[in-house]
Amino acid sequence: MNLKEHYNRLYVNSIENIKKDQYIIDHLIDSSSDNRFGITVLIRPSLEVKNKIQDFLNELKKSNPNQYYYPNSDIHITVLSIISCHDGFDLKTISIPEYSKIIQKSIEDIKDLEIHFQGITASNSAIMVQGFTNNNSLDQLRDNLRINFKNSGLQQSIDSRYTIQTAHSTIMRFKEEIIDKETLLKSLEKYRAFDFGKFKVEKIELVHNDWYHREHFTQQLYSFVLKTNP
């Protein structure tokens, strides 16, 4: 996949839909009855990168404070959703050590992964930061996880919603009607190619999470250290 073309196509199509008021409002963000939970393998960007993202979000908040903005604690890149969030998932029904063994096995040949957050893109329901990798390690890690989990017999729902291929991070969701569309679109265009910085991926996490990866609903189950060249 050509990531740059993919992000650009997504941006162009989504901006057109936003202009036509054909964006999707998420009505469950503030719902107390949302019980969708699952487990995810993820990467967390560096603090320096996340702080630059917050500068961008602070600009968006000035004109449209009524949308849902991700705090630093919740910003992440999904490596793979092992069990997709769904109503009724109970962590007690799975063996975390067994899942951890599969993930540890999957990262053995993964090293020197760096992610560059540059520019923003959008979907019909969210704003995202574009992520680009320095090599094929993320693709290889995902393939390792897919193969090893599917061969394990453990409960999983990998790729059941869609096959993830990007390194993006969702940072804002539409939860109400856009107040000031003109200013929002200007800000998005301003940050279309903004350089949020690079970071080396030193570890990945297995977490129990809700749909939005909110900190107070997320539990780290295990942390895995990636290899780096000396």
* CATH number of the domain to which 85 belongs: 3.90.1140.10
pLDDT score for 33? 87
pLDDT score for 157? 87
pLDDT score for 216? 94
pLDDT block averages, 10 residues each, the chain of length 230:
93 97 95 93 98 98 98 98 93 95 96 96 97 95 95 85 86 98 98 98 97 96 84
Residue with tokens 């019980």: 35
pLDDT score for 229? 61
- CA 66 centroid distance within chain: 21
pLDDT score for 1? 77
On whether residue 163 sits in a domain, the answer given is yes
pLDDT score for 165? 86
On whether residue 175 sits in a domain, the answer given is yes
On whether residue 230 sits in a domain, the answer given is no
User: For the chain, how many structural domains are there in total?
Assistant: 1
